[in-house]
A and B are shown apart, each in its own frame.
Chain A
């Protein structure tokens, strides 16, 4: 069984970020990066499935050479190799990323293509769905449990939906996107970290993948910093709190 995992680099959510002077993006001069947490859940699930079904886990990411560090972190967790599609961060939106991933899928022909349900930087929640659409594959988004049958042909996925949990069965190959509650990602151990340095990251570009439509479907107009948080108030009693919630905040 072969499992492809989309693995995105994002700015460390704990880092304090600033916008560039022209507000076209985030000032990346001194920010720290890490892997998108949902992608880490996707990778963990892929690794567990691969361990049970004797499979191979391959990472795929799109970006410049500076994302290799994040990719190596994923290799240190146990993925066997990685594919990086050379592209500038600034000319990438969910749709182009999805076209890239769909093209990589065709090269690799995995049984499962795992994604995080969304990336915590742009919060678009689109990539997995678009890839499934472009490839005509069954999809299960927001997975909180994934079970693969013994023959490796059917995935039974529990999804977190508004009303509760929904369980669906997919015929593989399929696209699955991971929710945080799917699992707890493992720790990378030092020997594996050392080994990760020697694993291959194959680099491809858009030409290699024959991607014709490279147009961005989203135009970034401008970025604003959130307004500073207003000072709170202390209430004297529960009655006062209820009163304020009712009459001032109109939340009740």
Chain B
């Protein structure tokens, strides 16, 4: 029993149970096989969609299931009961790949890519990271150049570490369309059937093994203008917004990972004996588990609170707040896209190295266009905290399992590898700290 229950209504409780049931029936029995294969069957997307699990947090008007951030959090917890982070994140790559398209309110993009993906017919991924740049998003070098004759864009470049990238049908790709580090970024939807798109490598990893991770190469890919997501230069703001959801989700993966490891440990210490008694009877064991449980509860509280706060300000409310901030803050219609707010400048996976700017700084076209997202600090804190809890609880869980904790056959062994990515993916621990520090006025 966790106090976080108080934040849940019946819909959260029921949804979580549904996800858990799906995970136990459709994922758990096959998890080990899929982890070893490095991929899971494509049909699982269809099954998950049929069970209503793919569209959580997406509006029903675009084919989603509705619901808010807290629904997303509990659905992730439920899916993680399958015992494979890889499967959970593989199924959910659409959770980072589709929101830019939804935000653009472009009906062509919605009908062509969003609906089929939420229906489990196609797979979506998000391609930001490149061989030359990860944390520093403004360093993106994949270029999209407009061919004035046809209006098409010609894309050249490469993307690295792309979850679901080896078989994605929808590749939401951040490209450089202008020289401004932030204002020169634009999303495009690339598809694998376009000439010049290739999967150069499927990558072998420490954890998240059941999800495929790709290096993609784009060689003179001709992309129709209809595949441009939003206006030229809108990519950075869109990405910042996307990060909020992605980071909350990563916090949820952290909570779920740690909770599973804790439960496995509680079971194991009762069964395993040493020196004539169950190891649960040793005080050091009890205290270790007490610490682990405390950390899990704290991470869960923080993650749920942030999700509930995000929901309180929305669902559409967050965008309304954004629009009104833009209206009062921005001098020109063009700036309303960016809804500049200097006090929250320099969000990053990104530009942690940029000097902070005074709140009243005049906005030049080159100013970092960071939207007022609200809760940026809290989401970053939750992501960091839950990720650290996951790593440390899994470390202790392995320890409590002794030699068994080092064996592929135990769940805590897998979880401990899966947890290690959480302080890296979706914005590293250091980058999160940069954001938090800036929000503290440093």
CB contacts (< 8 Å) of B17 on chain A: these are: 34, 73
| B10 and A187 form a contact (CB under 8 A) | no
The smallest beta-carbon distance between B339 and chain A, in angstroms, is: 30
Number of chain A interface residues as a range? 10 to 19
Select from chain A the residue with minimum beta-carbon distance to B60.
A191
Q: Does A193 contact B (CB under 8 A)?
A: yes
Number of B positions contacting A (CB below 8 A): 21
Q: Quick one: given A69-B10, A197-B10, are A191 and B65 in contact (CB under 8 Å)?
A: yes
Does B66 make an interface contact (CB < 8 A)? yes
Minimum Cβ distance to chain A for residue B429 (Å): 32
B18 in the interface (beta carbon within 8 A)? yes
**A76→B67 CA distance, assembly (Å):** 15
User: What is the distance, in angstroms, from A188's C-beta to the closest C-beta of chain B?
Assistant: 5
- In the complex, whether B327 has a CB less than 8 A from a CB of chain A is no
Choice from A34, A187, A197 contacting B11 with Cβ under 8 Å:
A197
| Chain B, range 48-95, C-beta contacts under 8 Å to A | 50-53, 55-56, 60, 65-67, 71
Q: Which residue in chain B gives the minimum CB-CB distance to A73? A: B14
Q: Are A30 and B1 in contact (CB under 8 A)?
A: yes
Chain B residues within 8 Å of A, Cβ to Cβ: 1, 10-11, 13-15, 17-18, 21-22, 50-53, 55-56, 60, 65-67, 71
Q: Given A30-B1, A193-B15, A194-B66: A188 and B10 within 8 A (CB)?
A: no
Write the chain B residue with the least CB distance to A189. Answer: B52
The 8 A CB mask of A69-108 against B (1 = contact, 0 = none) is 1001100100000000000000000000000000000000
Q: How far is the CA of A187 from the CA of B78 in the complex (A)?
A: 13
A residues sitting closer than 8 Å to B (CB atoms) are 30, 34, 69, 72-73, 76, 187-194, 196-197
Contact present for B1 and A187 (CB under 8 Å) = no
Chain B residue numbers with a CB within 8 Å of A197 are: 10-11
Pull 27 A–B residue pairs with CB atoms less than 8 Å apart, ordered by A. A34-B17, A69-B10, A69-B13, A72-B10, A72-B14, A73-B14, A76-B14, A187-B18, A187-B50, A187-B51, A188-B14, A188-B15, A189-B18, A189-B51, A189-B52, A190-B11, A190-B65, A190-B66, A190-B67, A191-B60, A191-B66, A192-B52, A193-B15, A193-B18, A194-B11, A194-B67, A197-B10
Minimum Cβ distance to chain B for residue A84 (Å):
15
Give CA–CA (A194, B10) in the complex, Å. 9
Known: A187-B52, A193-B18. 12 other contacts (CB 8 A): A69-B13, A73-B14, A76-B14, A189-B65, A190-B66, A190-B67, A192-B52, A193-B11, A193-B15, A194-B66, A194-B67, A197-B10
Residue of B14, B17, B66 contacting most chain A CB atoms (<10 Å): B14
Please name all residues of chain B whose beta carbon is closer than 8 Å to the beta carbon of A192 when the two chains form the complex: 52
Contacts of B15 in A (CB 8 A): 188, 190, 193
Q: What CA separation (Å) do A192 and B1 show in the bound complex?
A: 27
Chain A residue with minimal CB distance to B52? A189
Q: What B residues does A191 contact at CB under 8 A?
A: 52, 60, 65-66
Query: Which residue of B is nearest A68, CB measured?
Result: B10
Contacts of A76 in B (CB 8 A): 14
Q: Which residue of A lies closest to B21 (CB)?
A: A187
Nearest B residue to A194 via CB reads B11
Contacts A194-B66, A197-B11 hold; do A188 and B60 have CB atoms under 8 A apart?
A: no
Chain A residues lying within 8 Å of B67, measured Cβ to Cβ, are: 190, 194
- A190→B12 CA distance, assembly (Å): 9
CA of A180 to CA of B75, assembled, Å = 26
What residue of chain A has the Cβ atom nearest to residue B55's Cβ?
A: A190
Instruction: Give me the 3 closest cross-chain CB pairs, A-B, nearest first.
Output: A189-B52, A187-B51, A190-B65
A220 nearest CB across to chain B (Å): 28
The chain A residue with its CB closest to the CB of B25 is: A184
Question: In the complex, what distance in Å separates the CA atom of A205 from the CA atom of B10?
Answer: 25
CA distance A73 to B56 in the complex (A): 18
- A190 near B10 with CB under 8 A, answer no
**Beta-carbon nearest neighbor of B19 in chain A:** A187
| Contact residue among B1, B13, B50, B56 (Cβ-Cβ distance under 8 Å from A190) | B56
Q: Which residues of B contact A187 (CB under 8 A)?
A: 18, 21-22, 50-53
Q: Which residues of A contact B56 (CB under 8 A)?
A: 190
- A177 to chain B minimum Cβ distance, whole angstroms, is 23
Once the chains bind, are B71 and A190 in contact (CB under 8 Å)?
A: yes
| CB pair B18 A188 closer than 8 Å | yes
Residues of A near B55 (CB, < 8 A) are: 190
Cβ-closest chain B residue relative to A14: B24
Contacts of A69 in B (CB 8 A): 10, 13
User: Which residue of A is nearest B14, CB measured?
Assistant: A193
Residues of A within 8 A of B50 (CB): 187
Contacts of A189 in B (CB 8 A): 18, 51-52, 65
Q: How far is the CB of A5 from chain B (nearest CB, A)?
A: 18
A192 and B11 alpha carbons, distance in the complex (Å): 9
A130 to B300, CA, bound (A): 48
Interface centre among B11, B15, B56 (most CB of A within 10 A): B11
CA distance A30 to B5 in the complex (A): 13
- Cβ of B52 and Cβ of A188 under 8 Å apart? yes
**Interfacial chain A residues near B18, Cβ < 8 Å:** 187-189, 193
Bound complex: CA of A72 vs CA of B52, how far in Å?
17
- Which B residues are CB-close (under 8 A) to A34? 17
Closest approach, in angstroms, between the C-beta of A6 and any C-beta of chain B? 20
A192 to B51, CA, bound (A): 12
Residue of A nearest to B51 (CB): A187
A43 shortest CB reach to chain B, Å: 14
Report the Cα distance A193→B52, complex, angstroms: 11
Smallest CB separation, A128 vs chain B (Å): 25
CB distance from B264 to the nearest CB of A (A): 15
By CB atoms of chain B within 10 A, which of A30, A34, A69, A189 has the most?
A: A189
Residue of A nearest to B12 (CB): A193
Distance, CA A197 to CA B11, complexed state (A): 8
Least Cβ–Cβ distance between B372 and chain A, in angstroms: 29
Q: How far apart are A100's CB and chain B's nearest CB, in angstroms? A: 25
CB-CB nearest in chain A for B1: A30
Residues of chain A contacted by B66 (CB below 8 angstroms) = 190-191, 194
Residue of A nearest to B75 (CB): A190
Tell me, rounded to whole Å, the shortest Cβ–Cβ distance linking B271 to chain A. 12
CB distance from B396 to the nearest CB of A (A): 23
Shortest CB distance B101–A (Å)? 20
